[in-house]
Amino acid sequence: MAVSGRRRFDDDRVVRFEATEGDYEVEVARTLNKWCVSIYQLPDRSILAQDFFPERWKAMARAQDFIRLLNQRRTKEEQAGSDAD
């Protein structure tokens, strides 16, 4: 007997990435037939930016880019501090 309704795939689940400092979170979720990439400032989860993509792989790539940039900003600040010494 067939089950009616839409089958939920792993591709439809929400994916979250957290910056190494724990002060930002990037989330990829399906919204209104598009994929939404949201950047939240923690701990209050205020939205800093959102972008929408037609395909999941593009949204995932952009989210990983954001996480990489957020993680690099700490190393640049540390390098600037050590150069000043």
Q: Domain residues of the chain, as ranges?
A: 13-74
**Residue 6: band (very low, low, confident or very high) from pLDDT cuts 50, 70, 90:** low
Determine phi and psi for 42, rounding to 5 degrees: -90, 155
What is the dihedral angle through the alpha carbons of 13, 19, 25, 31, rounded to the nearest 10 degrees?
-40
Q: 32 or 36: which carries more pLDDT confidence?
A: 36
- Predicted TM-score of the model (pTM): 0.74
Three-state SS at 7: coil
Note the pLDDT of residue 4.
56
pLDDT over 60 (residue 50): yes
What's the pLDDT at 29? Answer: 96
pLDDT at residue number 66: 95
- With a pLDDT cut of 70, the percent of the chain lying above it is 73
